[in-house]
Amino acid sequence: MWHIHPVREKGDVMMRDNYRAVTLLCTTYTILESILYLKLLPYAEEITVEYQGGFQRGRSTVDQVFTVRQILEKCWEQNIFVHNLFIDFQTAQDTVWRKEYGVKCIN
């Protein structure tokens, strides 16, 4: 069970836009979430591909952005043409083949 409590940020007390919602979760839910996270983490790390950057231990999206920037700068210095392709996987989610990684798709 969770509770939503309004917290006033600034301004007039009677204006609704001056409040933000804070959600308080039950303590048992938070403990259960921590236990499940620790139990599932080894399996998630096992099936995650090497080039996954964000949300992984020891890997960062910032490192990947730095690498791409360095490649582009070096190519620019050497007058080498570079073609980039960026895919928004959230939009293309229905077209991604996931059977290779053992993920069941429900469509």
**Tens digits of residue pLDDT in 10-29:** 878 787 778 887 777 677 78
Please write the tens of the pLDDT for every residue from 27-38: 778 888 889 989
Range of the structural domain that residue 36 is part of? 1-47
Residue 54 phi/psi, 5° resolution? -80, 155
Q: What pLDDT shows up at residue 15?
A: 79
Q: What pLDDT shows up at residue 93?
A: 57
37 and 62: one domain? no
Residue 18 CB burial class (10 angstroms; 0-12, 13-18, ≥19): middle
pTM, two decimal places:
0.39
1 and 25: one domain? yes
21 and 39: one domain? yes
DSSP 86: -
Low-confidence ranges of the chain (pLDDT < 70): 1-3, 25, 54-55, 89-107
16 and 58: one domain? no
The count of structural domains within the chain is 2
64 and 105: one domain? yes
32 and 63: one domain? no
